[in-house]
Chain A
């Protein structure tokens, strides 16, 4: 269904030594859809993202994004294809300011060459200003424009979390992979993230790895449940809530 317009993963298997981290996983995300990926710790959710981003090569399986075979691409090429991701540990550029972090996220839109930067040509200045405007707009959208010039390392965790989100969004992605965006946040902050994801669906598809069930159930159109690297259930929020295998494997032990 999503072959030409969305993201599709089919028959993906990943093993680390003897450990099967993903086993014959297939899923699809259509345009403007939010796909939730849930499962207990160690189920393979982050590995799934690593496969999608080219950091982990699957032993088997295919990955397609808008009709392009992703396995042929290297990780840094994905941004150019409109795929962005946040990292579970944020992975901020710790010795840079908030604005600089987000500017790096906007690298995809940079237009000028090494040479115009070397000689600080007006062209480079204009490009930098355009990138800065884009980055500031992103910071504004996330309500952290006032800390733009602060070093990220000096900020509290929830703010840093927003910076990571702003950095991913600065590239104007069409597919956004969010790895536990609500972990460590208060209920209010989580609600804001939920609203944000809702707004983002107007312009992109989202894959969401998250432990907080309220959030997952409220924003996802579709949910895939992983356990020991296998898809044990899939369906809409209502189906998943009632699914016996899910209750067994996951919700029973770890209701967020």
Chain B
């Protein structure tokens, strides 16, 4: 990998980003509006999941309330798109991220003092409370009906540029697909930079041993708030994209279910890894439709078939937790490590295997964030 991508962190991540963007272009151009819209969804799930997996996997803080941060981003974007002459989309998405950043800082300061079940409870309360806010301020936030979102016109230069490359006209859903995946790639590059550098190391140190981290000069509260803010900001950006894709920001879109789905998606994918977040996002996007279709083929009514999706989701989550506790990415790494261990011969075989297994443990995230209130 190193030889292929170069040793410099930035070069390595940018190379991967460009390759990823090429795949995005090919996929979006070769699929129709329905698939384009699905890929746009996958992008915002991926961004929110990436933020959450960094928080839980690298820093050991749990959040059951990331749906609430997505709501804040979505409503920010929706409000800014209400007028007849909205600001450019990048500005709006940036604003959605920044407003959520502030909210994340406020919640993060409180969260930094809580651990395990207490933190889970507090963020759960957030997930339950936030969808109530638009109902209370129904004048500005549209109440139960929510705010309709009009997607601004596609910038002509962008449509022209893509036409020049692909010879195809730009549809709105394809445009949103590009927008979402561009945001995802940028987010992933930045998060990967953090994870690989000093900040990520600091987060993991705090996760592994608070006392030792403090002795090394790390301000625990600061590190935790920073992780929370970064994570919430991602959720805010994802929320903004969601509002555009769904063309609406409404309380029903941000129920507790969203937060829980997001959480189980990254657990399935493999905590603490961006690839895992992407796999989780793909499952959130494609599994429901796949299963519903299967149910209909088996002769179930539409309603019954639709009920299959959450059921399958729950089952798959249980299976993964039972048989691949490190998630799909962790499972694949473990399998690869076993193969490597078998291949390397001689006396060092066992040692190699141990090493490989530990490599896996080293990269997988935290499934047991400690319990209790933090030492005063």
Check if B354 is an interface residue, CB within 8 A of chain A.
Answer: yes
Check if B348 is an interface residue, CB within 8 A of chain A.
Answer: no
Check if B165 is an interface residue, CB within 8 A of chain A.
Answer: no
* A94 CB contact (under 8 Å) in B193, B202, B208, B217: B208
Check if A184 is an interface residue, CB within 8 A of chain B.
Answer: no
Q: Which of B8, B10, B214 has the most CB of A within 10 A?
A: B214
B216 and A79 contact, CB distance less than 8 A:
yes
Q: Which of A84-112 contact B (CB under 8 A)?
A: 84-85, 87, 91-97, 100, 103-105, 107-108, 110, 112
A151 and B359 contact, CB distance less than 8 A:
yes
Check if B199 is an interface residue, CB within 8 A of chain A.
Answer: yes
Q: Which of B159-202 contact A (CB under 8 A)?
A: 190, 193-194, 196-199, 201-202
Contacts known (A96-B205, A117-B193, A154-B358); A107 close to B212, Cβ less than 8 A: no
Check if A125 is an interface residue, CB within 8 A of chain B.
Answer: yes
The segment from B139-147, B218-226, B256-264 found at the interface with A is B218-226
A151 and B361 contact, CB distance less than 8 A:
yes
Check if A211 is an interface residue, CB within 8 A of chain B.
Answer: no
A211 to B218, CA, bound (A): 30
Contacts known (A97-B362, A125-B8, A154-B355); A117 close to B218, Cβ less than 8 A: no
Residue of A nearest to B195 (CB): A117
Check if B25 is an interface residue, CB within 8 A of chain A.
Answer: no
B214 and A93 contact, CB distance less than 8 A:
no
A150 and B355 contact, CB distance less than 8 A:
yes
A23 to B324, CA, bound (A): 53
* A75 CB contact (under 8 Å) in B190, B201, B215, B354: B215
**B interface residue count range (under 10 / 10 to 19 / 20 to 34 / 35 or more):** 35 or more
Check if A120 is an interface residue, CB within 8 A of chain B.
Answer: yes
A114 and B9 contact, CB distance less than 8 A:
no
* A117 CB contact (under 8 Å) in B194, B217, B362: B194
A171 and B216 contact, CB distance less than 8 A:
yes
Residues on B with beta carbons closer than 8 Å to the beta carbon of A110: 198
A79 to B10, CA, bound (A): 30
Check if A55 is an interface residue, CB within 8 A of chain B.
Answer: yes
* A107 CB contact (under 8 Å) in B207, B208, B216, B226: B216
* A79 CB contact (under 8 Å) in B194, B211, B215, B355: B215
B198 and A128 contact, CB distance less than 8 A:
yes
Check if B13 is an interface residue, CB within 8 A of chain A.
Answer: yes
Q: Which of B205, B207, B364 has the most CB of A within 10 A?
A: B205
Query: Count of A-B contacts with CB under 8 A?
Result: 121
B215 and A84 contact, CB distance less than 8 A:
yes
Interface size on A, residues (CB 8 A): 46
Check if A80 is an interface residue, CB within 8 A of chain B.
Answer: yes
Check if A118 is an interface residue, CB within 8 A of chain B.
Answer: yes
A167 to B197, CA, bound (A): 18
Contacts known (A96-B362, A100-B201, A128-B198); A154 close to B212, Cβ less than 8 A: no
Q: Nearest Cβ in chain B — how far from A110, in angstroms? A: 6
Residue of A nearest to B219 (CB): A76
A87 to B193, CA, bound (A): 31
Residue of A nearest to B220 (CB): A76
Contacts known (A53-B215, A92-B212, A93-B208); A120 close to B201, Cβ less than 8 A: no
* A120 CB contact (under 8 Å) in B9, B214, B217, B226: B9
Residues on A with beta carbons closer than 8 Å to the beta carbon of B190: 118-119
Check if A148 is an interface residue, CB within 8 A of chain B.
Answer: no
Q: Nearest Cβ in chain B — how far from A72, in angstroms? A: 16
Known: A87-B211, A127-B198. 8 other contacts (CB 8 A): A85-B215, A93-B204, A93-B208, A96-B208, A108-B216, A125-B8, A151-B362, A171-B217
13 A-B pairs whose Cβ atoms sit less than 8 Å apart in the complex: A79-B215, A93-B212, A94-B208, A95-B362, A96-B205, A104-B218, A107-B216, A117-B199, A119-B193, A128-B198, A153-B358, A153-B361, A167-B216
Which chain A residues have a beta carbon within 8 Å of chain B's beta carbons? 53, 55, 74-80, 84-85, 87, 91-97, 100, 103-105, 107-108, 110, 112, 114, 117-122, 124-125, 127-128, 131, 150-151, 153-154, 167-168, 171
Q: List the 8 closest A-B pairs by CB distance, nearest first.
A: A79-B217, A120-B10, A93-B208, A151-B358, A91-B212, A154-B358, A117-B197, A120-B193
